[in-house]
Structure formats: C-alpha cells, structure tokens
Structure 1
Amino acid sequence: MGDSTGTLISPAQEKALGNSFFRSIRAQLKISYDPDVQQYIQSIGQKLVANSDNPTQDFYFFVVLSDDINAFAGPGGYIGINSGLILNSDSESEMASVMAHEIAHVTQRHIYRSYEASSRMSLPAAAAMLAAIVVATQAPELGIGALSAIQAGSVQMQIDFTRDNEQEADRIGIKTLERSGFDPLSMPIFFEKLQLASRYYGEGAPEFLRTHPVTSSRISDTRGRAEQYPYRQVPDSQDYRLIKAKLRAGSDKTKLNDLFVYFKNKIDQGTPEQRAAMQYGLGLTFIKKQRFSEAKEIFQSLNHRYPQQREYLTALAQVAVNQRDFETAKSYYLQLQQMYPGNPQYQFEYISILLKSSQPKLALQYLRLIDYRYQQHPRYYLLLARAYGNLDEDVNLHRYMAEYFYALGQTNSAIMQIELAQKDKGLNFYLSAILDDRLNFFQAEIQALKDLQM
C-alpha cells in the first residue's frame, strides 16, 4: 500500500487491488454494460492514455449510470465516468478533459499517496474501503454505512487529493488533452460551468466539485495553460452525439413522453449529423414504447445513410431481438464483430442470441473463443452458466453462477452457489476439488472483511 515514506505497492499487488476494487464497485453502483457505450468510453480513454505521460500503463474505463456529475479514479487504472457528467458536457472535449484529469491522478500515483492504511490490512479489505469511499460520494445511503462499519475497526483511509495534486492533474491533463487532438480550453470552460452551477445547487453541488474543488485561481491557472497552445476548433464525433442520445433515452428517471418530446423537438435542428443523433434517440424511445416497426424504419434509414456507424446496427439488432427475429439479429452482430474484431461486448451479444434461439452447444463453442483477458467479465460467467443450464448440467450451472456473483462483488451469493453445486449427485473428483478450492477462497475473503469490521 502507500505509506508516509513513499513506498508503493508492487505492480502485481496494484492489479489485484484494482480488480478487487472494481468488484466492490460493481456490487454497489449501476454500471453500463451496453456494448456501444463501453466501446466508446474505452476508445476515448485509450486515445488519451496513448498521449499521456505513461502510455504503457493499463487502464479500464467504464460508465456509471448515475445522474450525478462525477468521475473518479481507482487503483489499477480503473476510471469511472458518470452518465450525468457525459450528458452535462456540451462538447466531447469537455468530457475528455475530465477523463484526462483522472488519468493524471493515476499516472502520478496520487491515489496511493492520498491515503494511509494499516500494514495489516488485507487486499479485499483495502479494496472494500476504497470502494466504500467512492460509493459514499455516489450513493450516500449505501456508502456511509460501509464506511461506518470499517471505521469501527479503527482503520482510517481516505481519498483526499491535495491542492497540489489537483494542480498537477490539471497541468498534465491539459497536455494529454492537447496531444490527443482535443481542445485544451475545454477544461477551464467545463470548470467554469460547474462553478457557476454550484451557486444554484447549494448543498446539492455536483459531487465532482466536492471531491475536486474548483476555485477561481484554479480556473485561471488552467485557462492560462490552455491558452499557451494554438487555437483549434475540434468538432464532436458522431459517436459522442449518439452515446449522449443513448444515455438520455436509457434513463429510468425520464418519462417516456418527455423523452419523445425532447427528441421530436430537436429532430430538425442543426447539422445532418446532429439531426441523425436526435432521430436515433427517437428510435430508441420507440423501442421503449414497444413500437418496434417505427423504430426499425428509423434505424434502417440511418444505417443506409451511415453504414459505418455501429450504433445503428446494434439498434437494428435490438429491434430484431424484440421481434424474436434471431437470425437477423445474429447477422447484425456478425457484421459488428467484423468491424470491431475481438470486441468482447459484441461477442457476448451474439452468444446471448444463440442461447435465446436454443443453441447452447454452439454458444459454448463461441465462449471458448473469447480472449482470456475478458474471461473474468461477469457476463462471460453468466453466459456460461446459462449455456450449461440449458444443457441440464447443474454442477457447471452453479459453478459459473458462483463466479458470476463473485465478479459482481456478491461473495455470499457465490458461496451459496458453490454449496448447491457440491450437493449434486453426479459430482466427480475433479470438479469436487475445484469447488472446494473456490469455496475456501470465497470464505477467506468474507472472513477478511469481517476482521476489518471488528
């Protein structure tokens, strides 16, 4: 862990801590697994990382489905961006400026220098503590309870970036932003908007302002640095417009009629690309209204005009699945896999359709082709469990459901699934040994968390 002498954890420990941290985040926050959203945020993140001061460091970017304006960095290069921040940005460069800032917090090791922990703290306990701090900023009713339990164990830890940390992240973030082809002025512009908004929010100010205080001097400093670069006009990508439309349409807090009116009113405004994004949002609203024929007509027109835009293909596939036209849906996801080879999210969608069309053996064949880097993903385990369940192989059904729950940070549920698998009468020695080993592992993690709360 980090300590006051500057000693830092090893790369292997950092990776393990990051993975455990992300499992805890999954257990408590709603994360988007939409293939288009994940493909987009990861591509923007990697573009920034490639132009950062540590381009070889591993990062994983994800979107938290929350209306709050926030972003956060965790150990192991895990960076979360709230959908609320994306929707409240007025340009792609503004969104990217926050991501570049968070990347700098990671590359400069601010996360590890911002807290001190007992040297006796286990990895799952440390990860749970970090996750509890993040969750307390996102969903106070969830996070405060977790923090209180841990503080009862006389262990104190906090992520509290200093003013110097923030200035350094701004300075390096602006440099990364400019190198990546974004507008460096977007950082002070976004900060100014947040500061102005905070005057109206009062105590309900955006969480980003509470974890990353924005002062007038900080805005002035970032503006001064940004103005050192030549002026450039950076247009938004169509992916950015479409992902904003998708996140808006996917919000559970907005009434369907309000969504319909929003997209309908903007459908004739702006450039052809901007109008297309509003048509796309309207089509997604039609899906939510179960008006599939009207949605399909919109997406077919958009796909004809913009055949390389992946979002229109996934939307057509979504309509086909809703209409139980699985062959058509599979053809769309095969096209997407050709456009984005190795993308696990489109592979998962294709396999899911195989299962819906009663082809579990074929689904297992495709699951074996998934790159090993993505075989720890919750959806990988869920699809494995469903495939084996469809084949009446209950031992493997429960075995992989256990891994699914563990990947989601629900270790107690994982233990229950292992115990169900152990009761199967057809259990062989090999599987029995695997189940015993995983049960011991899960139980040890639960005990470590209990020890922290004592």
Structure 2
Amino acid sequence: MNFKPLTLSLALGMLPIPAIALGIEKIELPDMGDSSGSLISPLQEQELGEAFFRNLHAQIEINEDAEIQQYIETIGRQLVSNSDTPGNPFHFFVVLDDSINAFAGPGGYIGVNSGLFLLTEAESELASVMAHEVAHVTQRHLYRAFEAARKLSIPTAAATLAAILLGTQSPELGQAALIAVQAGSTQFQIDFTRDNEMEADRVGMQTLVDANYDPRSMPVFFERLQQSTRYYGQGIPEFLRTHPVSASRIADTRGRADQYPYRQYPDSKGYLLTKAKLRVLTTSDNQSTLKYFQAHENQGTPFQRAVARYGIALVHLKSQQFSDAEKIFRQLVAQYPNQPQFAAALARTALDSRQFDQALKLYKQALHYFPNDVAIKIEFIETLLKTGYPEPAKQTLATLNTRTRKQPIYYELMAQTQAALEQDAESHRYLAEYYYAKGQTEAAIMQIKLAKQAKELNFYQQAILNERLNFFIREEKQRKQNH
C-alpha cells in the first residue's frame, strides 16, 4: 500500500495534536469556508469529542479516582465560566502518565497528565496550562487545523490524527496507526502556528486573571519547563522536544502578567490534597514516597503539614498498613472536620481492611456532612454492593449528577448493581455501555448479545438492546474499514 506523506508542523506549542476515535459513522467533515470552523455543528462537535474520549480510554490510562476527577472538573469549570465562551461544554480529566503533557481535543475535552500536575508548584501554574488549553478550544484552533482535510471522512481524518498523537508517545503504536489509514488519502497537514500559540497564551492569561488565579504563574511554569530540559540530555521527553518553550514566549507572557498588580494567590486545599493523592497513586516506590512526605511533615503552614500526614497515611493504606493509616486519618478528621477527603479516607481504610460495618457507618456519616460529594457517593455505592445492599446502591446511583452518569465508573457500578438485583439483561446492557465508553466496541457487542439471551425481556428492553446492538455493529464495521 502506498501512502501520501503526512506533514506535521507544530510551532511553540503546549499541546500535542489530539487523537480522535475511529469509527464515527455517517459524519463528513463540512467544507468549512472560513477559519473559524463555525460550520461544524454542535452535534458534530459533541460526537467528535465523545469519540475522541473513547479512543483515549482504549490507548492510555485515564484516571478513574472520583476525588481526583472531582477536583480537576472544579478547577476546569472555574476557568470555563470566566472564559470568552462560558456556555460551551467542556470535559476535564487526568491521564495517569508521568510524562509532562497536556492536550485539548474536540468537544472541549481537556486532558492533563499526572506528570505535569506533579511538576506544578502552585495551583495557578496548573490553572495556567488548563487555561491555555481552554483557549485553544474557544479560539477554534483545532478546527482551523481540519481545514486541510475537510474533504476527508471523519474515520480517515481520525486515523491520521490518532497516528500523529500515538507517534509522539510510542513509535510502534504510531506506525501501526499510520498503516491503518486508507491508501490514497489526501495529504494531511496540521499547522498550529506561532500565532495560535500566542493567542492561546493571551486569551488563556485573561481567563486566568478573571478566574482569580495568578497571571505570573504562566511565565513561571513555562520557565520551569524550559529549565527542566537541561537535565534530560538525549532522553528529553518528546513533548518538550517537539513543543519547545522559547525565551521569547516566556518574555511575552511575563510582560503581560506584569501589567496586573502583584498579590498573593494561596493554593486551595483541594489542589494540595489532590497532588498528594496523585503522587501516591502514580509512584510505585512506596518507600521513596513515604520519605518525601516525611520530609515535609514539619514544613509550611499547619494545613500543608496536614497534607504531608495525609500523604503518609495514603502510603500506609496503599501498603495495607491499615492501623497506621487509620490512626492518622482519625487525627485529621478530628482536626479538619470540614474536609471531605479526610472523612472519605478514613471510611476507605475501613473498607479496604474489610471492616464492612464500620465502613458503612463512616460513609453514612460522611454523606451526612457532605451530601453532594460525588466521590463519597461513589465509594458508598461500592461499599453497599460489597456488603449486599444493592437496592440502596441503586437509589444512590440515581442521585449522581449528569456528568458522572456519562463516565465509565457509572456504567460499571450500574452493571454490578443490576447483577446483584438478579437483573441479568440490564447488567449486561450497562456492562456493554461500560466497554463502549472504554473504547472496546467488540466487547460491548458481546455484552448486548448476552443481554438478548435473557428470558422474559419486555418490548421496551428488546427495542433498546436491538438499537444499541445495531449501533455498535455499524460503528465497529466502520472502524474496521479503515484497517
């Protein structure tokens, strides 16, 4: 097979080009007559974004910890509500990868790698990167990039874009994806210009200021990125090799930031606690992580010292040293009764140590004080299922917000709940949705077929199962046509 060359021209970017999932059927890129990309309909944008996110689930490890997800959504919503298009839908998530990376996809899907999160030294630095990504979406930079491929079908363009992103992360995966692109495709050029990047910096900084974050954090973090490259030698991360942070870019953002009066911007408690949890979650060497937190146990403000103790207790919990973890978490709950993360951690310790009655009691107490906390609700549901209470689990699932009910964890918990209620067809149906959300369409098809084998299906159930089976089969067929 012969392939026309792919050209990638990226200038001074904070982003890699995003991957878009393969297999959206019957959608053609419109012939966009202007650079705004305004002729892409909201429905097309939504479908592109959802497909992009499913594809990511199939390729990389996306965080499913409800507390971490809750935090990244909170800071994201704060930024979006102060952007120039506050009504646009956005979706924020953390990728569990230690490389320094962040990216924006269609439909407002913004990903931040745990490696970049942990590199930040202040919440405003994290917000500056996210604001930059938000600006790439609001200024339609992604859709300007599609103009060169406006005659391609979505699956073909998606395969090409996916190949580019995968090529920056893994040469082997990238080559495999490139081979999947059909022969004879139009030459595909993507050009995030220097003007795009400057515009994203400028618009992002204004969003940062309006959202009450420190504008000086943007040049500070850019400078740290630039300085960090000198320590990598030949092993410099691909992100920093292909997306350099220049001195002129730092100077430009610093000049803009200096126009605002200086003041202190304290980090939120959520930032400090989420960063500590991410460090424990993504570091395999428990001993070195423990030493890190112990070194900070007597430094900083009282709450910063509490965060260090929280990190120590999380390491104990991860190491199954339950009594040590419980002791610290109880102290933290007593000291900070208004902090939901501490209450949840204490209950989770009881759950992991198989003290189920105690775990139920602690989760009920936590929900009494924090009735709208999604993370606590999800862990409470898991506890109810483990202790044989599927009906209350189902009732609690019904109280989750719309954003959470679109995430894989919701479908997984619904499948477990329906199985516990001996509703086999519904259990397989929700498990199908779980696999589909994770980018595993063949597994979704299998689950729908299993659901259809259940006895005594009513007309409504049959109709839903037939519709979803046909939808999954069409999408899988469309995906395979590009291989």
| Bigger shift: residues 107-116 or 372-381 | 372-381
| Bigger shift: residues 373-382 or 311-320 | 373-382
Residue 295 of structure 1 is matched in structure 2 by: 325
Q: Cα gap change, 1:267/1:374 in structure 2, threshold over 3 Å: closer, same or farther?
A: closer
Q: Cα gap change, 1:119/1:341 in structure 2, threshold over 3 Å: closer, same or farther?
A: farther
Normalized per residue, the structure richer in helix is: 1
Q: Deviations over 1:395-438 (max 9, x none)?
A: 22222111110011110110111122223344444433322211
Confirm whether residue 88 of structure 1 aligns to residue 119 of structure 2.
yes
Q: Which amino acid aligns with 1:361?
A: E
CA contact 1:246–1:281 (8 Å) conserved in 2: yes
| Bigger shift: residues 68-77 or 382-391 | 382-391
* DSSP-derived class of the 1:375 partner: helix
Q: Deviations over 1:242-289 (max 9, x none)?
A: 1111111112x4312222222222212222222111111110010111
Residue 352 of structure 1 is matched in structure 2 by: 382
- Taking the aligned partners of 1:383 and 1:161, their CA distance within structure 2 comes to 40
Residue 21 of structure 1 is matched in structure 2 by: 52
Confirm whether residue 397 of structure 1 aligns to residue 453 of structure 2.
no
Q: Cα gap change, 1:370/1:128 in structure 2, threshold over 3 Å: closer, same or farther?
A: farther
- Taking the aligned partners of 1:56 and 1:427, their CA distance within structure 2 comes to 41
Confirm whether residue 228 of structure 1 aligns to residue 259 of structure 2.
yes
Q: Which amino acid aligns with 1:311?
A: Q
- Taking the aligned partners of 1:24 and 1:16, their CA distance within structure 2 comes to 12
Deviation at 1:360, TM superposition (A): 1.5
Confirm whether residue 104 of structure 1 aligns to residue 132 of structure 2.
no
Deviation at 1:130, TM superposition (A): 4.4
CA contact 2:152–2:186 (8 Å) conserved in 1: no
* DSSP-derived class of the 1:150 partner: coil
CA contact 2:297–2:309 (8 Å) conserved in 1: yes
Q: Which amino acid aligns with 1:406?
A: Y
Q: Cα gap change, 1:229/1:206 in structure 2, threshold over 3 Å: closer, same or farther?
A: farther
Q: Cα gap change, 1:68/1:445 in structure 2, threshold over 3 Å: closer, same or farther?
A: same
| Bigger shift: residues 316-325 or 63-72 | 316-325
* Structure 1 residues 28-47: aligned runs within 5 Å: 28-47=59-78
Deviation at 1:188, TM superposition (A): 1.0
Deviation at 1:341, TM superposition (A): 4.9
- Taking the aligned partners of 2:311 and 2:220, their CA distance within structure 1 comes to 27
Q: Cα gap change, 1:221/1:3 in structure 2, threshold over 3 Å: closer, same or farther?
A: farther
Confirm whether residue 117 of structure 1 aligns to residue 145 of structure 2.
no
Q: Which of residues 58, 71, 87 is equivalent to 2:89?
A: 58
CA contact 1:61–1:80 (8 Å) conserved in 2: yes
Residue 374 of structure 1 is matched in structure 2 by: 404
- Taking the aligned partners of 1:241 and 1:321, their CA distance within structure 2 comes to 24
Equivalent pairs: percent with the same residue? 54
Q: Which amino acid aligns with 1:5?
A: G
Extract unaligned runs of 5+ from structure 1: none
- Taking the aligned partners of 1:215 and 1:77, their CA distance within structure 2 comes to 27
Confirm whether residue 75 of structure 1 aligns to residue 106 of structure 2.
yes
Q: Cα gap change, 1:232/1:152 in structure 2, threshold over 3 Å: closer, same or farther?
A: farther
Extract unaligned runs of 5+ from structure 2: 1-28
* Structure 1 residues 135-284: aligned runs within 5 Å: 135-150=166-181, 152=183, 154=185, 157=188, 160-210=191-241, 212-251=243-282, 253-284=283-314
Q: Cα gap change, 1:335/1:168 in structure 2, threshold over 3 Å: closer, same or farther?
A: farther
- Taking the aligned partners of 1:375 and 1:93, their CA distance within structure 2 comes to 29
CA contact 1:38–1:63 (8 Å) conserved in 2: yes
* DSSP-derived class of the 1:290 partner: coil
| Bigger shift: residues 311-320 or 255-264 | 255-264
TM-score relative to the length of structure 2: 0.87
- Taking the aligned partners of 2:379 and 2:295, their CA distance within structure 1 comes to 32
Q: Which of residues 448, 452, 458 is equivalent to 1:422?
A: 452
Q: Which amino acid aligns with 1:191?
A: F
Deviation at 1:306, TM superposition (A): 1.3
Tell me which of the two structures has the higher relative contact order, counting C-alpha pairs closer than 8 angstroms and 6 or more residues apart: 2
| Bigger shift: residues 263-272 or 105-114 | 263-272
Q: Cα gap change, 1:404/1:104 in structure 2, threshold over 3 Å: closer, same or farther?
A: same
TM-score relative to the length of structure 1: 0.92
- Taking the aligned partners of 1:391 and 1:245, their CA distance within structure 2 comes to 37
Confirm whether residue 313 of structure 1 aligns to residue 338 of structure 2.
no
Instruction: Give the superposed CA RMSD.
Output: 2.3
Q: Which amino acid aligns with 2:33?
A: T
CA contact 2:30–2:150 (8 Å) conserved in 1: no
- Taking the aligned partners of 1:272 and 1:351, their CA distance within structure 2 comes to 33
* DSSP-derived class of the 1:19 partner: helix
Residue 359 of structure 2 is matched in structure 1 by: 329
Q: Which amino acid aligns with 1:121?
A: S
Q: Cα gap change, 1:109/1:351 in structure 2, threshold over 3 Å: closer, same or farther?
A: same
- Taking the aligned partners of 2:461 and 2:257, their CA distance within structure 1 comes to 59
- Taking the aligned partners of 2:74 and 2:214, their CA distance within structure 1 comes to 17
